[in-house]
A and B are shown apart, each in its own frame.
Chain A
Amino acid sequence: MIAPLRSARVVAGLLIVLLMLVCALGAPWLASHDPDEQDLVAMLLPAVWQQGGDWAHLLGTDGLGRDVASRLLYGARVAMLVAGTASLGAAVVGASLAYVAGYLGGWVDWVIGRAIDVWMSFPPVILSLILMTGLGTGARNVILAIVLVDWTRFCRVLRAEVIVTAHRDYVTAARLSGFSHVRTVLREIVPATVPLLVTVLTLEMGIAVVVEAILSFVGLGVKSSQIAWGQMIADGRDAVYQAPLALLAPVGAIFLAVAGFNLLGDGLRRSLDVRMVEGRE
């Protein structure tokens, strides 16, 4: 478990993710302003290093005079919450089905395989939009939608790995030693797939951040009373000429968060020697 820490990518990714977590958890103490406080006198202020900047608003203010830096910190809360829970949920659903399908094979595998086909025939963005229409806005529904869309990613990648592992002679040998099916899967197959699972999970967190941002950008993400980076982008677009930072700051935040998860996932993939077919979104 120490080996991955020797990779520069893993360390860099971990640091970024930790920074994001600190921002998310510490937002109430770190933020200089109430993120919803509108100051109509200080609308569209530039950042502190630009002409006319004000130390009270490090990254300036948006069209309603709200402090961009504070909103950014609060936005991290939703992003991290969704990233963590949605990818865990998708992993649990997708991985369980993958173990069942890959180990048992036969018609079970066929049914799960066809389910994946159906899901894959939908572009994920479209599917999550449709689901959000049905579910309604809110962080919980965003998480649910991501789980319902992205379980296939875990299932596809892991199923292939489970099939390879299940065909190894040592799995047959475990059965011949008298192990039950469940015990064989838990003792011989699951450990072999953990590195892959951890890697996909990390990469999925980055994807979840993006999906949450997309949904909030379109107005179908979290409730409008909650602060999300996607929403900030949508708001910032209207005043892009006057206060570009109101747009660029959340863009940068999303990039940083996703880059953190991707660096971590990439580093893990290398140091744990995981082979996988890549793909995103």
Chain B
Amino acid sequence: MILWATLGRRLVTAVPILCVVSVLLFTALRVLPVDPAAMSMPPNATKEEIEAARREMGLDRPLPEQYGLWLGRAMRGDFGRSIHHRRDAGALVRETLPGTIELALAAMAVSSVLGLGGGLLLFGLRERTMEPVAETVTTLMMSVPEFLWALLFIFVFGVALQAMPFTGRLDPGMKLPGLTGFLVLDAVLTGRLDILWSALVHLVLPAVALGLAFAPPIMRVLRASLIDTYHEDYIRQARLRGVSEGRILIRHALKNAVLPTLTLMGVQFGFLFGGSLLVEVIYSYPGMGNLMVDAVRNADLPIIQVVGLTYCVVVLVINSVVDGLYLVLNPRLRPR
């Protein structure tokens, strides 16, 4: 009941945020030095032809009017046409989004497992001789951003060992009748185990590279909040009742310590979703990130706008889900 109320409230606040974001996006992109109308025309187009194109794209009207026009169309699902691809911008996003989400989910799984496991390991090492070593290793791991992991993995597993594929989502020549766009899901639904295997193998390097970059902060926060939790009175009181150490960790400490960790993971997953862009570029992974980078290089305004908004929507959804989860796990937020 309260869960739904919170999610509902979260969505209510998300709508104004989205509106503000779209206005900002629109304004930021209109101060662009390049002329998208000129970019969309063949190089030998005349001045008059470019002017006509500008009028047709609505670029000659005042900014608020342009925004109103764009918003009106966007409400009907029309996000304009890509200048570069000469296709419907919305359709391009629909084609690429599932791939990006698949990658991000896999990376989230990797970073959650590594982060929580590593956090427990670091906690277990507290006040031992190995602790400084382990902490220095985490600091150094934090110094490797996702695109460096991606490049290193290509170099080690792709080039040097030649053990893993590192381009695209599938082996060349494989084709799947697109159902949802989520390859793993589609392969399972159609019973194509060969495609499932290929998709999973192609997912490993990018997902691990992305997940690895976001695991160390989770490790640290879990360790720190476990240490904080162990200073709490209720842990001592449980000990004084004769509760075993294992039970104290799992039932009493982790349940509390996971809360600050979850808050951080919410923020991290937003960042991780953005980080997928670089990984996609490096692994030539056909997702929204590559679409975005192409669009940016070609000043493809309709694409930049819709992709930017889509990233926002996904982040807001992630945040809402994390908020809901936090509420479920933290009874203190429930009314007295």
Contacts and interface: CB of A to CB of B under 8 A. Distances in A.
Direct A–B contact present (CB less than 8 angstroms): yes
Interface of A: 9, 114, 117-118, 120-126, 129-134, 136, 206, 210, 213-214, 217-220, 233, 237, 240-241, 244, 247-248, 251, 254-255, 258-259, 262-263, 266, 277-281
B10 to A, nearest CB: 11
Contacts of A130: 25, 28-29, 296, 304, 308
Chain A contact residues, majority secondary structure = helix
A217 B307 CA distance: 20
B205 to A, nearest CB: 15
A279 B220 CA distance: 10
Nearest to B30: A134
A253 B155 CA distance: 16
Given A217-B278, A258-B145, A279 B217 contact: yes
Nearest to B221: A278
B292 A129 contact: yes
Interface of B: 13, 17-18, 20-21, 24-25, 28-29, 31-33, 136, 139-140, 142-148, 151-152, 154-155, 159, 213-214, 217, 220-221, 260, 263-264, 267-268, 270-271, 273-275, 277-278, 281, 292-293, 296-297, 299, 304, 307-308, 311-312, 315-316, 319
Contacts of B159: 240-241, 244
A122 B308 contact: yes
B299 A133 contact: yes
A248 to B, nearest CB: 7
Given A240-B155, A251-B148, A278 B316 contact: no
B148 A255 contact: yes
Most buried by B among A133, A218, A258: A133
B86 to A, nearest CB: 20
A129 B217 contact: no
Contacts of B275: 123, 125, 281
Nearest to B300: A133
A248 B155 contact: yes
B271 A254 contact: no
A126 B310 CA distance: 11
A41 B293 CA distance: 34
Question: Which 6 pairs show the lowest CB-CB distances between chains A and B?
Answer: A123-B274, A259-B143, A125-B274, A258-B143, A281-B271, A210-B145
Given A118-B20, A134-B32, A259-B140, A129 B296 contact: yes
A238 to B, nearest CB: 13
Nearest to B281: A218
A280 B272 CA distance: 10
Contacts of B293: 129, 218
Contact of B29 (A133, A220, A251, A255): A133
A121 B21 contact: yes
Contacts of A131: 28
Contacts of B17: 114, 117-118, 121
A277 B277 contact: no
Contacts of B144: 255, 258
Nearest to B23: A118
Contacts of B304: 130, 133
B147 A217 contact: yes
10 contacts: A121-B21, A121-B316, A125-B274, A125-B277, A218-B278, A258-B143, A266-B139, A280-B214, A280-B271, A281-B271
Given A220-B296, A278-B217, A126 B142 contact: no
Contacts of A132: 296
B182 to A, nearest CB: 21
A129 B33 CA distance: 15
Contacts of B31: 134
Nearest to A211: B145
Question: Which one of B147, B264, B315 has the highest number of Cβ atoms from chain A below 10 Å of its Cβ?
Answer: B147
